[in-house]
Chain A
Amino acid sequence: MTATFSGVNTALRGLEAEQIAMNVSGQNTANASTPGYSRQMVDLQTTDPISDPALGAAGPGQMGTGVQVASITRAHDSFVQQQVIYQNGQQSQLQTQSDTLANISQIFNEPNSTAGFGTLLSNFFTAWQGLANNPTDPSQQAVVAQRGADLAGGLNGASGSLQKMQEQNNAEIGGFVTQINTLTGQIATLNQQIAEVTAVGQQPNDLKDKQDNLVNQLSQVVGVQATYQANGTVNVSLAGSGTLVQGIQSHQLTTVPDAVQPQFTAVAFQGQPGQISVNGGSLGGAITARDQTLGGQLTTLNTLAANIASAVNNLQSTGYGSNGATGINFFVGTSAATLALNPVIAADNTNIAASSAPNEPGDGSLATKISQLQETPAAGQPTTLQDQYNAMITQLGVNGQQAQTNLTTGTLVLQQLTNQQESVSSVSLNEEASNLMRYQQAYDAATHVMSIMDQTISDMINQLGG
């Protein structure tokens, strides 16, 4: 025998459950365009049946008691999320790399037959050929001195620009570290809130979305790995370099002078000795651009400058100027930053040696030898100076192209991952509309059930009482 009003209760539970389902649908619809929002789903379950043997023994079996909302969960794919975190780190670094290479290319302005950096080199050699034709002509001597100073100035300028770019990258590091500290602090605080919610057996859906957002932001600044715990909290670590967030504890980073290049900044954990290596993200990108991309370019440029100086000086110092002077170097300095026209030559152009022998004003054979450095490699150098320069530019192009290709590929991968994530997590208005219709109909039906029961019971009371 069942209680008279139990059917009303069952219908009421139906009303309440459908009401919650419609509310969740409303929440989803309202957040249809909220970034990082994961749609929520109601998990409907039947309530416990009446299981008292005394009550049930006489009946046909266990009687159902209605429906309840067991939980509200979010649609989320944590495997894709892990990949997004990794790809974010790669992507920011690739972007910095690609931008840096494009900026370096602009310094040299190649290919350009009239205004490229390479014309400084070819103009220099052309001037020597002119001097070979007229070894005692003061105007030709002046042209050689000027072109030499131009070449040295061009190398100084290029070196300066590269160093400036290094400094700009270096200056960004402090800002990135502050950003990382803010984000890890927020993640740790959020971990605490999430742990509190899960401890009482509830789903911290919106907090988890916020957590994902923060970890995503962090992964764009620096390459990280995230490990999700059963209680919903996340532990975040730098790939191979230590833990940033462990439960409710965050470890702050700080900047220290670099051990190898003290003029630059390195990253370290606060209160711990020694700098750490950082990869990925804007921070990893800035450090890679500073040390490898720009640093490597500077090394190549310095080698070129040193080779120019030694190739020209080795010949120049053996020759004789139109004033009879000998043993004078053309360039001073051995790096791109320090290369300069020898002040002795700048002060008196007749010191420029064009002749292989003294007192032979018509002898321009030494100037010819120097101009021939265009065609023949200098002693001890595998290729000509111009081939060295060309190889440097070609390599720059290859690197730039590769960086662009990697960036394009990375963008596609990220696009694909986002697509997968949105396929699972984002709101579909069609789906919500369809759900709403379902919930509405079920709600309507439940009210009908209730009204029929009301009618039945009141009939019974009135007729038996009448």
Chain B
Amino acid sequence: MRISDQQVADLRNYEVNNAYDQLIQAQNTLSSGRQINAPSDNPAGTGTALSLQDELAQNTAFTATANDSQSWMQTTTNALNGVNDTLLSIRTLGVQGANGTLTADERTALANQVGQLIQQGVQAANATYNGQYVLSGQKTLTIPFTTTTSGGLTSVAYQGDSAPITRELSPGLVSQIGIPGSNALPAVFSAMSQLQSDLLGGDSAMISGDLATIDKAQGGLLLAQTSAGAITNRVTAVQGSLQNQNTTLTAQWSGIVDANFAQASVTFNERLSTYQASLTAAGKVVQSSLMDFLK
């Protein structure tokens, strides 16, 4: 093949440019720390990375839901525990009141104490999380329990509904979070009010009967507490798995998008050598021609 000087010059430019271009690409990977800087760098990898980004965003959202649900359940559990505490105190007063030797004044005093404890229990049951009542079912803006007092008798009415709060804890899985106050609590408060009424009435037998009612109501309350505990445990488990998932997803995304520095450095050095070699060759190639030998 005939070789012209222009050809040699063009080839020299092309090879040096090419080596330089490759070197710059390797440098971009190193300095940006990413092997995919644009979708065209790796379309399939970009598709996977985008799906992982969506999953990561969902993971973040579900983690927020789980944390929120955890707090909600914490408030619910505290409220139920508070009601349980007052129920136990009231039961102690009931045991005292069942003693036939008490005077009417002493029983009235006990009934007053019961009334105060009922108020205390209602206050515990009306707990709020982030401005919402946790025991009103879905009527979260309605105070769940209200008291009316007439003739020394305290009665409690439930204002909420029986629909439980639900949350989407994991994709597609909508779970019940929270215990509606209609569940167990009206029985508890009505047992309390009954005892108060019978203390004022003074019939020891009736008071003893009320203790049985209180025990039964407490059984219901215990069930509610147990299911609250179960929900809390489930939420905790979800939090754990979301945490694991987040770590895995982040690692996968990084594996696709981020540069492998060891590999990128090796590539960069290889290309640097190639570039230097092409520069050396370009500098040395045909510096002289036959013209130099014409005399």
Chain A proximity of B73: nearest CB distance (Å): 13
Q: Which of A32, A102, A118, A437 contacts B40 (CB 8 A)?
A: A102
Inside 8 A of A106's CB, which chain B residues have their CB?
Answer: 38
Q: Is B289 an interface residue (CB 8 A)?
A: yes
Among B139-168, those with CB < 8 Å from A are: 139-142, 161, 163, 165-168
Q: Is A243 an interface residue (CB 8 A)?
A: no
Inside 8 A of B289's CB, which chain A residues have their CB?
Answer: 429-430, 433
On whether the beta carbons of A401 and B140 are closer than 8 Å, the reply is: no
Among B236-287, those with CB < 8 Å from A are: 253, 256-257
On whether the beta carbons of B38 and A374 are closer than 8 Å, the reply is: no
On whether the beta carbons of A129 and B7 are closer than 8 Å, the reply is: no
Chain B proximity of A384: nearest CB distance (Å): 9
Inside 8 A of B57's CB, which chain A residues have their CB?
Answer: 119, 122-123, 125-126
Inside 8 A of A424's CB, which chain B residues have their CB?
Answer: 2
On whether the beta carbons of A394 and B47 are closer than 8 Å, the reply is: yes
Q: Is A116 an interface residue (CB 8 A)?
A: yes
On whether the beta carbons of A374 and B54 are closer than 8 Å, the reply is: yes
A25 to B247, CA, bound (A): 74
Chain A proximity of B177: nearest CB distance (Å): 9
Q: Which of B5, B10, B138 contacts A360 (CB 8 A)?
A: B138
On whether the beta carbons of A397 and B42 are closer than 8 Å, the reply is: yes
A423 to B253, CA, bound (A): 50
Once A126-B64, A371-B168, A390-B50 are accepted as A-B contacts, the answer to whether A113 and B38 lie under 8 Å apart by CB is: no
Inside 8 A of A102's CB, which chain B residues have their CB?
Answer: 38, 40
On whether the beta carbons of A434 and B290 are closer than 8 Å, the reply is: yes
Chain B proximity of A109: nearest CB distance (Å): 9
Once A111-B257, A423-B2 are accepted as A-B contacts, the answer to whether A394 and B7 lie under 8 Å apart by CB is: no
Q: Is A428 an interface residue (CB 8 A)?
A: yes
Q: Is B65 an interface residue (CB 8 A)?
A: yes
A130 to B65, CA, bound (A): 7
Among B28-81, those with CB < 8 Å from A are: 36, 38-47, 49-54, 56-58, 60-62, 64-65, 68-69
Q: Is A18 an interface residue (CB 8 A)?
A: no
Inside 8 A of A426's CB, which chain B residues have their CB?
Answer: 4-7
On whether the beta carbons of A375 and B171 are closer than 8 Å, the reply is: yes
A-B pairs with CB below 8 Å: how many?
210
Q: Which of B46, B61, B253 contacts A393 (CB 8 A)?
A: B46
**Stretch from A273-281, A414-422, A446-454 forming part of the interface with B:** A414-422
Once A418-B10, A428-B4, A433-B290 are accepted as A-B contacts, the answer to whether A105 and B38 lie under 8 Å apart by CB is: yes
On whether the beta carbons of A130 and B64 are closer than 8 Å, the reply is: yes
Q: Is A110 an interface residue (CB 8 A)?
A: yes
Q: Is A350 an interface residue (CB 8 A)?
A: no
On whether the beta carbons of B53 and A422 are closer than 8 Å, the reply is: no
Once A101-B40, A433-B294 are accepted as A-B contacts, the answer to whether A423 and B7 lie under 8 Å apart by CB is: yes
A364 to B178, CA, bound (A): 13
Q: Which of A108, A119, A372, A437 contacts B172 (CB 8 A)?
A: A372
Inside 8 A of B136's CB, which chain A residues have their CB?
Answer: 362
A430 to B4, CA, bound (A): 9
Inside 8 A of B208's CB, which chain A residues have their CB?
Answer: none
A110 to B65, CA, bound (A): 27
**Stretch from A133-141, A153-161, A191-199, A205-213 forming part of the interface with B:** A133-141
On whether the beta carbons of B131 and A428 are closer than 8 Å, the reply is: no
Q: Which of B4, B14, B167, B174 contacts A133 (CB 8 A)?
A: B167
On whether the beta carbons of A110 and B139 are closer than 8 Å, the reply is: no
Chain B residues within 8 Å of chain A by Cβ, number: 65
Grouping DSSP codes into helix (H, G, I), strand (E, B) and loop, the B interface class, with mixed when no group exceeds half, is helix
On whether the beta carbons of A360 and B64 are closer than 8 Å, the reply is: no
Inside 8 A of A396's CB, which chain B residues have their CB?
Answer: 39-40
Name the CB-closest residue of A to B72: A133
Name the CB-closest residue of B to A385: B54
A427 to B9, CA, bound (A): 12
Among A391-427, those with CB < 8 Å from B are: 391, 393-401, 403-404, 415, 418-419, 422-427
Inside 8 A of A19's CB, which chain B residues have their CB?
Answer: none
Q: Which of B9, B50, B65, B130 contacts A394 (CB 8 A)?
A: B50
Inside 8 A of A110's CB, which chain B residues have their CB?
Answer: 39, 46, 49-50
Name the CB-closest residue of B to A122: B57
Chain B proximity of A354: nearest CB distance (Å): 11
Once A132-B167, A423-B3, A426-B4 are accepted as A-B contacts, the answer to whether A397 and B54 lie under 8 Å apart by CB is: no
Q: Is B190 an interface residue (CB 8 A)?
A: no
On whether the beta carbons of B39 and A427 are closer than 8 Å, the reply is: no
On whether the beta carbons of B43 and A397 are closer than 8 Å, the reply is: yes
Chain B proximity of A412: nearest CB distance (Å): 9
On whether the beta carbons of A113 and B5 are closer than 8 Å, the reply is: no
Q: Is B11 an interface residue (CB 8 A)?
A: yes
A424 to B2, CA, bound (A): 7
Name the CB-closest residue of B to A399: B40
Q: Is A361 an interface residue (CB 8 A)?
A: yes
Chain B proximity of A352: nearest CB distance (Å): 16
On whether the beta carbons of A394 and B46 are closer than 8 Å, the reply is: yes
Inside 8 A of A404's CB, which chain B residues have their CB?
Answer: 40
A134 to B140, CA, bound (A): 10
Q: Is A376 an interface residue (CB 8 A)?
A: yes
Inside 8 A of A432's CB, which chain B residues have their CB?
Answer: 291
Q: Is B115 an interface residue (CB 8 A)?
A: no
> Can you give 28 A-B contacts (C-beta < 8 A)?
A32-B5, A111-B39, A111-B49, A111-B53, A113-B56, A122-B57, A123-B57, A125-B58, A133-B65, A134-B130, A136-B132, A361-B138, A362-B139, A362-B163, A362-B165, A371-B168, A375-B58, A376-B172, A390-B50, A390-B54, A393-B39, A394-B50, A397-B47, A401-B43, A422-B4, A426-B5, A430-B289, A433-B293
Beyond A136-B140, A361-B138, A434-B290, 10 extra complex contacts between A and B, CB < 8 Å: A111-B39, A113-B52, A119-B53, A130-B61, A371-B168, A394-B43, A394-B47, A422-B10, A423-B3, A426-B7
10 smallest A-B Cβ distances: which pairs?
Answer: A397-B39, A400-B40, A122-B57, A397-B43, A426-B4, A362-B140, A362-B138, A426-B6, A433-B290, A111-B49
Residues of B within 8 A of A (CB): 1-7, 9-11, 14, 36, 38-47, 49-54, 56-58, 60-62, 64-65, 68-69, 130-132, 136-142, 161, 163, 165-168, 171-172, 174, 253, 256-257, 289-291, 293-294
Residues of A within 8 A of B (CB): 32-33, 39, 101-102, 105-106, 108, 110-113, 116, 118-119, 122-123, 125-126, 129-130, 132-137, 359-365, 368, 371-372, 374-376, 386-387, 389-391, 393-401, 403-404, 415, 418-419, 422-434, 436-437
